[in-house]
Amino acid sequence: MREYHGFKQNGNWYKGNIHSHTTISDGMLTPEQAAKLYRDNGYQFMCFSEHDIFTDFREQFNREDFIILPAVECSVILYRAKGTNERYKVHHLHGILGTSQMQEAAPEGLFSHMQYIPPMKFFGEWTGAKASQEMADLLAAHGCVTTYNHPIWSRVTEEEFIYTEGISALEIFNFNTVQESNTGYDVTYWDRMLRMGRRINAFASDDNHNEGLFEDSCGGWICVQAPELSHDAIVQNFMDGNYYSSSGPVIYDWGIRDGKAWIDTSEVNHINFVAGNIINDGTTVLGKRFEDSLTHGEYTLKGHETYVRAEAVDKYGRTAWTNPIYLDWE
């Protein structure tokens, strides 16, 4: 079979958090404080994902070594009943301003700084899947790349979002909700979508609010490989899946050659190769128990896998995730 490269080998690595909140919505840090926090911790880009408010702080915060990706986290909310604030379910779809080409082609123009996008509200019952698609279409019409955020925390069922077209990536690790209530792990939904044939990437983020109840910053991020630190370069390579996600370990390279999936990482405890679609596809490469002793892993393909992705897990459970490689056996 042909060789597959997990990354494009097209430049440098840039670390970013694409899901965060400030005092503009329900966070406790000002945009200035949040930008400084992430710059000081070695990040090169971030989004302010304010609830239902599009922000564009590029002029204020962009520097040679740090940029802002304008964004908004849009809401579809199912309330228990009218007159109550009790939410049964929510869709949080995240729109990140797309590339220059996407902006120029946006049929409804671009959102403006501090523009309010009214949430869709339902009471008692909702048309969950239809509403998710309508919100995704709205973001696309305004030139945005769309992600779907924290489905476990949102209490949605898989049928209410997995068929939504136009989603570039699914949030599979949300540091805030992991710390808050252990509802930030969404890998199972990702594999459900991959097994049904959807080609979708995944990402880790903080979703930080900095309320002081627990630590929720600098715990989940993506590292994008790009030729330069610019809006178009970061967004295009994000859409292309030319990045990995992490809550700790580093992925240096990975791919498929000579019939084997392989990965090179920082020191980790074990490496999972997850594959579709036959039972017992994939494997786990185990290192020494309770130690981080592995820096390389391999999986010999069986000849029918539809996709392969890899996870590098350290002794504390911190994980780095690749995006999938889709296999063509013809």
CATH number at residue 316: 2.60.40
Are both 41 and 168 inside the same structural domain? yes
Using one digit for the tens of pLDDT, what is the confidence trace for 222-272? Answer: 999 999 999 999 999 999 999 999 999 999 999 999 999 999 999 999 999
Containing structural domain, residue 170: 8-246
What CATH number did the domain enclosing 234 receive? 3.20.20.140
| Strand positions, DSSP E, 18-86 | 45-46, 53-54, 67-68, 71-79
Predicted confidence at residue 227, as pLDDT, reads: 98
Structure-token match 């039972």, residue found = 279
Asked whether the predicted pLDDT for residue 330 surpasses 80, the reply is: no
Using one digit for the tens of pLDDT, what is the confidence trace for 182-235? Answer: 999 999 999 999 999 999 999 999 999 999 999 999 999 999 999 999 999 999
Are both 233 and 265 inside the same structural domain? no
Token readout for 47 is 């989004």
* 154-171 mean pLDDT: 98
Are both 54 and 199 inside the same structural domain? yes
Predicted confidence at residue 127, as pLDDT, reads: 96
Tell me if 73 is assigned to some domain: yes
Predicted confidence at residue 1, as pLDDT, reads: 78
3-state class (DSSP) for residue 94:
strand
Tell me if 59 is assigned to some domain: yes
Tell me if 3 is assigned to some domain: no
User: Cis bond leading into 149, ω under 30°?
Assistant: no
Cα separation, 181 vs 216, whole angstroms? 12
Asked whether the predicted pLDDT for residue 329 surpasses 90, the reply is: no
Tell me if 206 is assigned to some domain: yes
3-state class (DSSP) for residue 233:
helix
Predicted confidence at residue 63, as pLDDT, reads: 98
% the chain with pLDDT above 90: 98
Domain boundary residue, one of 197, 217, 246:
246
Q: Looking at the 3D structure of the chain, how many domains does it have?
A: 2
Tell me if 201 is assigned to some domain: yes
Predicted confidence at residue 179, as pLDDT, reads: 97
Are both 39 and 178 inside the same structural domain? yes
Using one digit for the tens of pLDDT, what is the confidence trace for 62-112? Answer: 999 999 999 999 999 999 999 999 999 999 999 999 999 999 999 999 999
Are both 277 and 196 inside the same structural domain? no
Indicate the average pLDDT of the chain: 97
Tell me if 77 is assigned to some domain: yes
Are both 199 and 264 inside the same structural domain? no
Are both 165 and 300 inside the same structural domain? no
Using one digit for the tens of pLDDT, what is the confidence trace for 10-24? Answer: 999 999 999 999 999
Asked whether the predicted pLDDT for residue 53 surpasses 80, the reply is: yes
Tell me if 2 is assigned to some domain: no
Domain boundary residue, one of 246, 271, 306:
246
Q: What is the DSSP letter of 159?
A: G
Residues near 45 by beta carbon (within 8 Å), at least 6 away in sequence: 14, 15, 16, 18, 66, 67, 68, 69, 224, 229, 234
Asked whether the predicted pLDDT for residue 298 surpasses 80, the reply is: yes
Domain boundary residue, one of 217, 246, 275:
246
Task: Output the pTM of the full model.
Answer: 0.97
Cβ–Cβ < 8 Å for 67, 231: yes
Strand partners, 54: 115
Asked whether the predicted pLDDT for residue 2 surpasses 90, the reply is: no
Are both 80 and 180 inside the same structural domain? yes
